[in-house]
């Protein structure tokens, strides 16, 4: 099984899109997305210096556009799993079919502007914590009045909050941990971004989300989300919620993913995956010269496309790894309401409810009590749906 990953803020490099402009239609595509996002993506990806592309309002739509432009040159129909880090989730949602590319780029422009505006309200920042015992690191972050904004795995947690709090934290760091101050505009993925979440939510409310056609992982908790409107709500919520990339990587391992392709500008997520998931094949796509390797790994590890007609039913899937417990007294043939809980997956972090997103009839259990299940695994078939 193969996963495609879209990177987040901090992965950008000056001029990284220049080699792509020679591809047919690439420049026109970027100019169209520039009109939607409100920034000049061609300039930002080819001529802008490091300082300019560090601007949150410009970086976020640039990264989403770059991932989507890269993916257009790959056989994405053979890809089973997609995920994105932070703003990269918008690109992943588009690759899964939840958003159109135009909607993803537009939301990235709104997200970047709103988060930049929120950063200007109060001086805040972020610091990377490398090493240390994770629980101790998180406890020390809380003691300093800060938030664990990113838990990236591979011994990396990002603390975020007020500048005095970050200074206090750096003066008394966790044991065996190194603190690195990050050059960012503010405390992303914390309550300080509440105005940005509200602003993004007002725009996102006008979007009709599609059903994911791939296993789509969420930064909120690493689970697979199989309902478009739910994923759209999570994309908005993620502005103030911590990025749990460590749980996304755990889900990749639980799914049995054997290869990863990271989209441009690639490298950061590949490095984290290399340290966290043993024995996995990794390809980074930074220039068109990397496409041949990416296509080869997709051909060898990807899922074959299906041309079978769509069935007249919906499937409820597990959002996390664990053991399945059906709802008590719910038998095959029972009517199911939209949003009704049909069971739970017992995980290491506690039970995760499993709900039907559409009304119908429980035609068949696809998992049984105490069965071990993986994220994205079908649990029940609901009939009567198109």
Residue 366: CB atoms within 10 Å: 16
Q: Which residue has the tokens 């994205």?
A: 376
Residues contacting 131, CB < 8 A, separation 6+:
155, 176, 177, 178
Catalytically annotated residue among 85, 147, 189, 301: 189
Neighbours of 162 (CB within 10 A): 18
SS3 350: strand
Residue tagged active-site, from 86, 162, 218, 314: 86
> What Rg value do the Cα atoms of the chain yield, rounded?
21
Of 136, 129, 85, 137, whose CA–CA distance to 244 is shortest? 85
Instruction: Give the separation between CA 254 and CA 246, rounded to whole angstroms.
Output: 12
139-155 burial by CB neighbour count: b if 16+ within 10 A, else e?
ebbeebebbbbbbbbeb
Q: Which two tokens stand for residue 4?
A: 């495609």
Q: Could you check whether the bond before residue 127 is cis, i.e. omega within 30 degrees of 0?
A: no
Q: How crowded is residue 239: how many other Cβ atoms within 10 Å of its Cβ?
A: 24
Contact 39, 65 (CB under 8 A): no
Mark whether 86 is an active-site residue. Answer: yes
Catalytic sites, residue numbers = 86, 189
């Amino acid at each position: 099984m193969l996963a495609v990953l879209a990177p987040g803020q901090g992965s950008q490099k000056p001029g990284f899109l220049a080699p792509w402009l020679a591809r047919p239609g690439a420049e026109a595509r970027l100019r169209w997305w520039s009109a939607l996002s409100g920034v000049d993506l061609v300039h930002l990806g080819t001529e802008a210096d490091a300082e300019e592309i560090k601007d949150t309002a410009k970086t976020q739509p640039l990264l989403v556009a770059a991932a989507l432009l890269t993916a257009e040159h790959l056989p994405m129909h053979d890809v089973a799993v997609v995920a994105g880090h932070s703003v990269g989730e918008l690109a992943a949602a588009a690759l899964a079919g939840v958003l159109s590319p135009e909607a993803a780029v537009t939301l990235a422009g709104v997200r970047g502007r709103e988060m930049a505006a929120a950063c200007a309200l109060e001086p805040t920042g972020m610091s990377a914590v490398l090493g240390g015992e994770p629980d101790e690191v998180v406890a020390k972050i809380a003691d300093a009045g800060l938030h664990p904004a990113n838990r990236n795995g591979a011994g990396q947690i990002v603390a975020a909050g007020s500048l005095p709090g970050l200074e206090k934290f750096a003066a008394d760091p966790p044991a065996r941990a190194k603190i690195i101050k990050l050059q960012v505009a503010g405390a992303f993925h914390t309550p300080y971004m509440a105005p940005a979440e509200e602003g993004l939510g007002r725009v996102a409310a006008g979007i009709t989300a599609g059903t994911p056609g791939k296993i789509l992982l969420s930064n909120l908790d690493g689970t697979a989300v199989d309902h478009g409107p739910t994923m759209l709500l999570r994309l908005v919520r993620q502005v103030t919620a911590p990025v749990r990339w460590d749980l996304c990587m755990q889900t990749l391992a639980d799914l049995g993913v054997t290869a990863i392709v990271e989209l441009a500008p690639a490298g950061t997520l590949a490095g984290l995956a290399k340290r966290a998931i043993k024995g996995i094949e990794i390809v980074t796509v930074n220039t068109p010269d990397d496409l041949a390797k990416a296509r080869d790994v997709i051909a060898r590890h990807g899922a074959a496309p299906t041309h079978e007609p769509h069935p007249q039913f919906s499937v409820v899937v597990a959002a996390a790894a664990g053991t399945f417990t059906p709802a008590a007294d719910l038998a095959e043939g029972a009517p199911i309401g939209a949003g009704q809980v049909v069971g739970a997956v017992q995980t290491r972090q506690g039970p995760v409810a499993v709900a039907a997103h559409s009304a119908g009839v429980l035609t068949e259990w696809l998992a049984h009590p105490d069965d071990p299940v993986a994220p994205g695994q079908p649990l029940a078939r609901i009939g009567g749906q198109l």
